[in-house]
Structure 1
C-alpha cells in the first residue's frame, strides 16, 4: 500500500508552523500539518501576546552578561539557571557569552532589525488574508522605570532603538499617568512606544490561522514524528513505529523540540529553552490600558481578552525539569508593587518553552544535510512577533522564490 504523499509537510502547529502552513496552503498544493499535541497547545497557547517589533536587542548583550553571574543562580531572578542544569547547558552558554562581543551584537541587531521590518509588513498581510485583522490591537506599549537611576541605566537601549528608526516618547508626570492610571508612586519614568502592537489572545490568533489553513485544504493531524529521512524523491516522515508519510518538502517548526528532529538529519543545532512563566487573572483584576513592560525584571503585564496576564522572565532549564512556579509568584509580587490596585486572587499559572539560540536569532534555512528540509525555529520569546516574516521566508524557500531579506544571519550552518 502506497504511503500518503504531500507537496509540503509542516512539523509543528505553533504560531510559526501554522503561519507557514497557511501561506503554503494558499498555493493550492497539498499541505500536511503535524503536531504531537494539537494546534497552539504549547508555547503559542500562553504567551504575552506582544507583536514586539521594537524588540531588536539580542538576549546576549553587555548589560545581561555583566549581570548574568549574579542572576543565573538566583532561582527567582529575571534570568535564572538551576545549578543542576549547568553542566548540560555549558556548551550553549559558551556560545551565548561569545555572542555578546561588540561586533557580534551589532551584526545580530542588524539582522534582527531586518527581520522585524519584514515581520511588521508581513503580519498585516497575513492577518488580513486569514481574516483576523481585528485581533490586532494598536495601543502601543509602556515601559516603566522606578527612579531616575533605573531610567538612566536603560538609555543605551533606547539610543540603539532610535538609531534603528524606532519611534518612542519619554514620559513622566501627568502624561505617564494618562497612559496608565493607577501606577504606584515608585514609578517615575516611562517610555511609550506607539508602534508596539498586541493581540487579543495569542491562542485565538494561532488557532484562527490554523483553521484558515485547513479551510484552504491543508490537513491537520495529531501525531508524534519519530524519524525524518531524505530520499531520492522527497522526505520520509515516520509517525510512530508502523506508519510513514512522505512529502516533497518538509518544514521543521517544532519550537523547542526542533533540534531533536534536526539531529535525525545529522545536524547539531545549539537550541536551548527559555522557560517562561505567567499568571492570568480575570479582566477585572486591573484596568490595563496597554501592555506594560518592566524591563529591569524581564516581564510584562498584558491586557488580553481572557484577562490580565503577568509573565515573562527567562529560566534556562531545558525541557524535562518540573516547573518552578515560585517564578510566577515573584513576578506577581513585583507587579503588585507597580500596580497597587492589582487584584491577585483567582490567577491561573502557566509555563511555556521558548526555543532559544545563543545569538537570539532564529534558524531559518535549508537543512545542511537534507536540502528538502527547511528549518524554521529558535525564535526565543519573539515567535508571535516574527511568525509572519518566518512564514514568508519559509514559503519562498519551499517554492524557490527570491528571499525577502538576507538569509545568511539565520542559516543553520552559522553554528
Structure 2
C-alpha cells in the first residue's frame, strides 16, 4: 500500500505534504486529494500509537464543554491527590507543566467556557454528517453508526447540578430526552440501578472500530492516488518566507504546501519555525473487555467516573482518565486499575474473555481550542492540531477546512478563534510576533 512520494510538482498540480497520520491528517490528506492536489502523507507512527486509535469512538458533537469548567480550581487538589479520581500527574513533570497549567486553569470560568464552546461547535457540531461526507463511497462507511450519546447520572438532582453545561448545549441547538427511574432501566438495563437518570442526546454517531476505520480511510487515500511515506519529519524547509518541503529520516521531500497535523508532536515542528504554541501532551487511556456478556445500548458517559463506556465490535471500550507526564510517558498500572474498578461499579454483572490496554497522547492547548491556520511567518505551512478530547469528532471538518485553505479557498467559517496568533496576542508566546491574525484567501 505504501509508495515513495513524488519529489516535485508536475502537471501544474500543487504537491501537498501532510505531516502526521492520525484522523486529522488522514482527513486533510483525503480532502486535499479531492481538491485536485497531489498529496503525500508522512507518518512515523504505528497505527496503535495515534490518539485517534484509542479514543472512545464517539462522534460526540455535544462535547463542546472543556475540562476547565467553573469550579475546577477548588476541586483540583483533591482530584489530583485522590486514588479514585481519573486525573493523574507525574510529579517530577510538574515544573515543566507549571506555566502551561497556570494558563490552562485560568479559563475555568463561565465566560471562557461559553467562548470555548462557541468555538468548538463549528468544528464538531455536525460530526456525523462530516464523517459520512469524508467516508462516502469508501469501505470506512461501514464503521459509522448513527446513535444517541447518553450521559448517566445518579439521579435527576445530580443532573441538575450540571445545568450550566446543559444550558450551553441547549443554546447551541442540541436536544436530548430525559429518562428516570423505570424509564431509565427500559432505555438501557445493563447499568447499575444506583445510576437512575439518563440524558440521551440525539443526532450523534459512533465509530464501531476506530483503528479499522482509520485503516480503511488510508487504503482509500492510496487507491485514490495518494502517497504514504513511513518516515519522521525532522524539519520544515523554507526560503524567502515560503515553505519548500520537509526534511525526513529518509531524506528531503519537495512540496508546495505543508500541513502539520501531528497531534501532540506538532509543536515540536512549529518551534523549529520560530513559533511556540502552548500545547501539552495529555496522556489518555482505555481498557477493552473482549467478548463481553452484554454491551451498553449506546456510548455512555458517566460524569461521576469521568469515563465513557463505548460498545464496539466484539468488545466494550472504557475510555477516559487524564494524566500529565509529557510525550515520553508510557502510562502506569494504577490508572488501568481505576478503569477496571469503575467498570465493576457501573456494570457489576459484566463478564468477558480477556482485556487489552492502550495508552496514547492527546494535544491539549492552554485554551482548549484547536489551532487551524496558515502560519504567518512561513507561508504555505498550515496547522491543524490541538483538539484535546475531540480529535476524532472534529477531524473530518478540520481536514476539510485545511484542504480548502491549502487550495486557496475561503472556508464558510470564521477562523479567527483557531488562529495561531491568538497566543501571541494574549502574551502566551514570549518573544514571538505574528503579523496576520486575519485569515485570507491563499494565493
Superposition TM-score, scaled by structure 1 size = 0.94
Task: Report whether the alignment pairs 1:64 with 2:81.
Answer: no
Q: Tell which deviates more after alignment, 216-225 or 80-89.
A: 80-89
Task: Report whether the alignment pairs 1:239 with 2:242.
Answer: no
User: Please, which of 21, 28, 35 is the counterpart of residue 27 of structure 1?
Assistant: 35
Q: 1:287 maps to what in 2? A: 295
Q: What CA deviation, in whole Å up to 9, does each residue of 1:88-132 have, x standing for no partner?
A: 111111111222243322221111122223544422211215453
Shift of 1:76: 5.1
Q: 1:249 maps to what in 2? A: 257
Q: 1:4 maps to what in 2? A: 7
CA contact (8 A) 2:18 2:41 kept: yes
How many equivalent residue pairs? 412
User: Please, which of 85, 99, 104 is the counterpart of residue 96 of structure 1?
Assistant: 104
CA contact (8 A) 2:292 2:315 kept: yes
Q: 1:206 maps to what in 2? A: 214
Q: Tell which deviates more after alignment, 53-62 or 249-258.
A: 53-62
Q: 1:37 maps to what in 2? A: 45
- Structure-to-structure mapping, 1:5-404, within 5 angstroms: 5=8, 7-39=15-47, 41-74=49-82, 77-117=85-125, 119-232=127-240, 234-240=243-249, 243-343=251-351, 346-404=354-412
The RMSD of aligned alpha carbons is: 1.9
Distance 1:40 1:344 in 2: 22
Distance 1:285 1:252 in 2: 42
Shift of 1:157: 1.7
CA contact (8 A) 1:33 1:219 kept: yes
SS in 1 for 2:379: strand
Shift of 1:75: 5.7
Q: What CA deviation, in whole Å up to 9, does each residue of 1:140-175 have, x standing for no partner?
A: 122111245432322222122112110111111222
Cα distance change, pair 75–245 in 1 and its aligned pair in 2 (3 A): farther
Unaligned 5+ runs, structure 1:
none
Q: Tell which deviates more after alignment, 271-280 or 78-87.
A: 78-87
Superposition TM-score, scaled by structure 2 size = 0.88
Q: Tell which deviates more after alignment, 372-381 or 97-106.
A: 97-106
SS in 2 for 1:195: strand
Shift of 1:413: 0.9
Distance 2:334 2:48 in 1: 25
Cα distance change, pair 285–381 in 1 and its aligned pair in 2 (3 A): farther
Q: Tell which deviates more after alignment, 177-186 or 13-22.
A: 177-186
Distance 2:319 2:79 in 1: 18
Shift of 1:348: 0.5
Distance 1:301 1:208 in 2: 24
